[in-house]
Structure 1
Amino acid sequence: MKKRSILAGGLLFVGLFAFYWLHVVKTDSRPKNEEILSQINSSLQNSQAVDIQDFLKLDDGHGVAPFISDKEQYGVSYWERHLTAWKVISIRTDGEPKVWMLDGSDPSSFHIVWNINPGSDIQTLQYFFTRERGYSSSGEQQHYVPGILMKTEASLAGNSYGAMKVPGEWGDALTLSDGSDVPDTLFGDNNNMGIHSRFGWIPLDENNKEVEWNNSINNSSYYKGNVREQHMQLLDQYQIQKGQF
């Protein structure tokens, strides 16, 4: 009888813990700023984080903590929720826009992440998904690939940082073949971006004029585990107007 009571008590504890994890901790929690600083600074070597600007939850298990370093770098750290705590899985001291692919086979999980020094003249970030048009033939088979140009924008008014889910139509375009047979190992087996497709961006000032982007050569980064991150090509308005992307 005593053993049954202990077993029942154990099962009740497990059930309560599971409920707490699924409905309270996992949904509402975020790491404290002190813990974010500690984990970042225990990993970086050439600089130290001194100010945690925010913690942006992307879903129940992933988040982004933008920060400022002691060298006045505006950086980004990527976080993943583990069973008992949040763990940092990637840190970079440059805030240039990049795409974090939470699930490489699911474009709906992709997020553009950035942290731009507010001391620059940049006020608006234009983001693009582009695909070159092309044509190929093999024997009697002909294959035409239409070009794609999609744009979205993010304002820096109020915050130097942000995280934006990739628009749904971009996700649809990512599932279309561009006619290339070259695999892209950054993406899962079910989602091949192809060699003719690109993510890109253009920084603009308050008058919607291009701003020259000067990325510091003293940036550093740290990765722990398999973090899927896609570079965004720096474009210019002339390229977009002429279709030269």
Structure 2
Amino acid sequence: MKRKKIIISIISLLILLFALGYLFRPPSDFPSEKELLNQIPEAKTIQDILFLDDKHVYVPFIMNDNSYGMSMWVWKNGWRLVADGDIGAPYIWQIYPDNPDSYRLLYNIHPEDQVSSINFYLLRRRYYSVSFNDVHTYTPGIQKHFTMELSKKSYGMIKIPTDWKEMIIDYMKVSKEDEQPILPSLGGPYIEFAWNTTNQHGEEIQPHKTYVGGFSITGSYIINSLRYMNQEEINLYNE
């Protein structure tokens, strides 16, 4: 009887080890372009396969109707398509929400829009409030930006700048202490990500073919679109 219990214990342990090995096994090879096209039937050309880290991948592609799209993939006991669409306007993927170092800006600009550069913005309106116990709080506004010059490639993946990371980390701390929202809400200061574009002459243009389309996300991944703002709207954050 004792021998039987030992054998059962050993078998149970082996099953547990096998299950853990399966769940925590390292990522396998990413699907080939042919396999990707089978999973994204609307696409005709895979432009690139960009690893954001060993478990998160960005795949820009060209659609059958010649629009430009994007897809995001995650390793979770297999490579899974978690987001895709026929839109190339920038999105920010907060891979690990509590770690801004993992945030990535992703885009795929349609060539017919003749975009020469993309301007990315980190914004927050200044905010003044008075609490019920007469505590006055002033939160200064923020307007940070950087410009990405487009080369021959229509697509790209960008890590957010160091000063953005530091500002977001500081704001996260303040938000937790004061219970202020980080993302847009009905009240209180919050951070926004925005963008606009210019042509080769430095003139602001509307990239209509780039930001027209749909985008779907499966699961609880934080992948947010950036708000398109013209310069007049951006200037409001200085007021």
Q: TM-score, normalised by structure 1?
A: 0.76
Note the C-alpha offset of 1:82.
3.0
Structure 1: give runs of 5+ residues left out of the alignment.
Answer: 42-47, 187-193
Give matches, 1:21-170, under 5 Å: 22=26, 29-41=29-41, 48-83=42-77, 85-138=78-131, 139-170=133-164
Note the C-alpha offset of 1:182.
5.9
Q: Deviations over 1:96-141 (max 9, x none)?
A: 0111111222222111110011121211001000011111122342
**Equivalents in 1 of 2:212, 2:158: separation in Å?**
26
Match of 2:215 in 1: 221
Look up the equivalent residue of 1:30 and give its one-letter code: F
Note the C-alpha offset of 1:180.
7.7
State whether residues 112 and 209 of structure 2, in contact with CA within 8 Å, keep that contact through their aligned partners in structure 1.
no
**Equivalents in 2 of 1:228, 1:107: separation in Å?**
12
**Number of aligned positions between the proteins:** 217
State whether residues 104 and 160 of structure 2, in contact with CA within 8 Å, keep that contact through their aligned partners in structure 1.
yes
SS at match of 2:111: coil
Higher deviation after alignment, 229-238 or 70-79: 229-238
Q: Deviations over 1:44-80 (max 9, x none)?
A: xxxx100000011001100100000111110000001
Residues 185 and 123 of structure 1, relative CA distance in 2, 3 Å threshold: closer
Q: Superposition RMSD on alpha carbons, in Å?
A: 3.1
Structure 2: give runs of 5+ residues left out of the alignment.
Answer: 1-6
Look up the equivalent residue of 1:127 and give its one-letter code: F
> Larger radius of gyration, structure 1 or 2?
2
Note the C-alpha offset of 1:231.
2.2
State whether residues 180 and 195 of structure 1, in contact with CA within 8 Å, keep that contact through their aligned partners in structure 2.
no
**Equivalents in 2 of 1:218, 1:140: separation in Å?**
47
State whether residues 40 and 88 of structure 1, in contact with CA within 8 Å, keep that contact through their aligned partners in structure 2.
no
Look up the equivalent residue of 1:119 and give its one-letter code: E
**Equivalents in 2 of 1:206, 1:216: separation in Å?**
17
Residues 72 and 244 of structure 1, relative CA distance in 2, 3 Å threshold: farther
User: Is 2:200 the counterpart of 1:202?
Assistant: no
Note the C-alpha offset of 1:183.
4.4
Higher deviation after alignment, 146-155 or 174-183: 174-183
Note the C-alpha offset of 1:240.
3.0
Residues 218 and 99 of structure 1, relative CA distance in 2, 3 Å threshold: closer
Note the C-alpha offset of 1:213.
2.7
Q: Deviations over 1:205-235 (max 9, x none)?
A: 1122101131579733333222211221111
Of Structure 1 and Structure 2, the greater helix share is in 2
State whether residues 102 and 110 of structure 1, in contact with CA within 8 Å, keep that contact through their aligned partners in structure 2.
yes
User: Is 2:227 the counterpart of 1:240?
Assistant: no
State whether residues 51 and 68 of structure 1, in contact with CA within 8 Å, keep that contact through their aligned partners in structure 2.
yes
SS at match of 2:163: helix
